[in-house]
């Protein structure tokens, strides 16, 4: 226990003891009147309650509540991206990201529909395919979340203000070069991340091509497709998050 808490604890206990000493120097617990007796009993009860609660509060460590992380759906990500549409530097990229989410959902639905024509959803083969799709979705949306973090951090008003002042010749070229390097890092990261998502969608296109004639493949071909998907998952994990 730290010194501050020890001081508070000592002060609490001495304070209650002092009140009791002063009070009972003028009162008798079982005095001549019912009022005096009731007052004495009440004082003892309050003193005991104060000591118990006060000591418990000072001895117990405060509970730190972990922040609740809300699971975001595709619609939540689209809504979050739409909230940044007023950032002119990223307007076209945000449109692309929203379109990517729609295309991802469409491709994954088609993949699952095709797989269910060939497998029962309880079969191991289907579960392997489905696990890969779920992993790809996870990485794709993790990428979107990182983009949103960058969009939240980017000060659009400051960017536009600095650009205007630059045009007016308010700052030196050296300062502007350094300032724009910071802005360029934001812009580069967001555009690069959008391109990473396009690579993920391209992989899904290739996967769709492979399984579109799934009913005609034999067991060996199926094993090869699953092996390729497993390799795909490993490669996807190296995408920028």
Where are the domains positioned within the chain?
3-59, 74-236
In this prediction, residue 147 carries a pLDDT of 94
What pLDDT shows up at residue 159?
79
Nearest to 93 by CA among 183, 22, 161, 192: 192
Give pLDDT, residue 5. Answer: 56
Distance in angstroms (rounded) separating the CA atoms of residues 104 and 121 = 21
- The per-residue pLDDT for 63 is 40
Looking at residue 104, what is its pLDDT? 95
Alpha helices in 154-216 (DSSP H): 156-167, 173-211
Q: What is the pLDDT along the chain (241 residues), one digit of tens a residue?
A: 455 555 665 665 566 565 555 655 655 555 565 555 555 555 565 556 555 655 556 555 444 444 435 678 999 999 999 999 888 889 999 999 999 999 999 999 998 888 888 888 888 878 877 888 888 888 899 999 999 999 999 887 887 788 787 777 777 888 888 888 888 898 999 999 999 899 889 888 887 887 777 666 556 666 676 676 667 656 655 655 4
| % helix, strand, coil for the chain, step of 5 | 80, 0, 20
């Amino acid at each position: 226990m730290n010194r501050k808490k020890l001081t508070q604890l000592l002060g609490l206990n001495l304070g209650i003891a002092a009140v009791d000493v002063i009070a009972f120097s003028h009162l008798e617990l079982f005095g001549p009147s019912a009022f005096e007796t009731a007052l004495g009993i009440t004082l003892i009860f309050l003193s005991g309650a104060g000591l118990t609660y006060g000591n418990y509060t000072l001895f117990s460590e405060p509970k730190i509540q972990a922040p609740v992380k809300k699971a975001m759906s595709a619609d939540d990500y689209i809504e979050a991206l739409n909230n940044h549409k007023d950032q002119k530097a990223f307007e076209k990229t945000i449109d692309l990201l929203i379109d990517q989410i729609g295309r991802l959902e469409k491709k994954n639905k088609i993949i699952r529909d095709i797989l269910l024509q060939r497998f029962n959803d309880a079969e191991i083969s289907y579960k392997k395919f489905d696990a890969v799709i779920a992993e790809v979705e996870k990485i794709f949306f993790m990428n979107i979340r990182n983009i949103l973090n960058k969009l939240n951090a980017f000060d659009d008003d400051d960017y536009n203000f600095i650009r205007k002042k630059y045009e007016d010749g308010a700052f030196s070229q050296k300062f502007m070069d350094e300032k724009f390097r910071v802005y360029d890092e934001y812009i580069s990261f967001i555009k690069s991340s959008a391109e990473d998502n396009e690579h993920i969608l391209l992989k899904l296109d290739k996967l769709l091509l492979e399984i579109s004639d799934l009913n005609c493949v034999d067991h060996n071909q199926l094993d090869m497709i699953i092996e390729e998907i497993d390799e795909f998952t490993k490669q996807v994990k190296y995408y920028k998050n």
